[in-house]
Amino acid sequence: MSSRDKILAAVKQNQPALQALPDVTPLVDTFPSSAEKFAETLAAIGGKAYEIQNITEIPVILGERDASTRVINLVDGLTIANAETQVGDIDPHTLENVDLAIIKAHFAVAENGAVWVTSDLLQQRALPFITQHLAVVINYDDVVGTMHQAYNRIADLDYDWAAFIAGPSKTADIEQSLVIGAHGARSMSVFILKQV
């Protein structure tokens, strides 16, 4: 008998009587789904949110960059000088010198400061990790309160790879001193686009 069959047989033999799954719905609406709350939570975990009226404000806020720094811009309708917009077909290792990546996220979560991204938005899964700095654009109305609302929204969607990203990468492994910029991005800015 293979290990698979042995393990599955032993599991079947030893598992206890079935208990019903609980209802998750009472937990769903227990946190305000506001962009302001999201911005507050994001700030507390080391990120920064900017409420903007027009996408053209983004390059102004990001500021001037040396022409030699590598910037990847994957946001439709956003113009960034000297930025690359197509990285889908390259070897991801060649992204090692990216200084700034600007990406779109589907929505944000107010209770924990996370944004939800899927691989189809990124062209390269490695991009939001390997870049030195990460900027994310979301729509003002795309903020949910809790993770339960988030998963209700994701429920039946298909993706190859996806992630919640909440702030810059960090570590507190050395004597519990918080250091921002572990292996992933050193900063995370989220632009909340309020259509007028």
Site for other proteins in 112-131 (CB under 8 A): 112-114, 124-126, 129-130
- 66-95 residues in contact with other proteins (CB under 8 A) are 92-93
How many CB atoms neighbour CB 35 within 10 A? 21
The one-letter code for the residue type at 121 is L
> Is-contact 193 75, C-beta < 8 A?
no
Nearer to other proteins, 21 or 60 (CB): 21
- 25-54 residues in contact with other proteins (CB under 8 A) are 26-27, 30, 41, 44-45
Residues in contact with 79: Cβ distance below 8 Å, sequence separation at least 6, in sequence order: 56, 59
C-alpha distance across the termini of the chain, in Å: 66
Q: Is 175 in the site for other proteins (CB under 8 A)?
A: yes
Q: Is 99 in the site for other proteins (CB under 8 A)?
A: no
CB of 83 to other proteins, least distance (A): 21
Residue with tokens 């990847």: 72
Window contacting other proteins (CB under 8 A); options: 57-65, 67-75, 99-107, 159-167: 159-167
Q: Which tokens hold the place of 143?
A: 């903020």
Window contacting other proteins (CB under 8 A); options: 54-62, 68-76, 98-106, 164-172: 164-172
Nearer to other proteins, 2 or 195 (CB): 2
Window contacting other proteins (CB under 8 A); options: 55-63, 67-75, 100-108, 151-159: 151-159
The Cα–Cα gap between 67 and 65 comes to: 6
Among 137, 165, 190, 193, binds other proteins (CB under 8 A): 165
Nearest to 185 by CA among 105, 68, 100, 74: 100
The Cα–Cα gap between 50 and 13 comes to: 56
Q: Is 187 in the site for other proteins (CB under 8 A)?
A: no
Question: Going along 30-145, which residue ranges are E strands?
Answer: 48-52, 70-73, 98-104, 107-109, 114-118, 133-139, 143-144
Nearer to other proteins, 19 or 195 (CB): 19
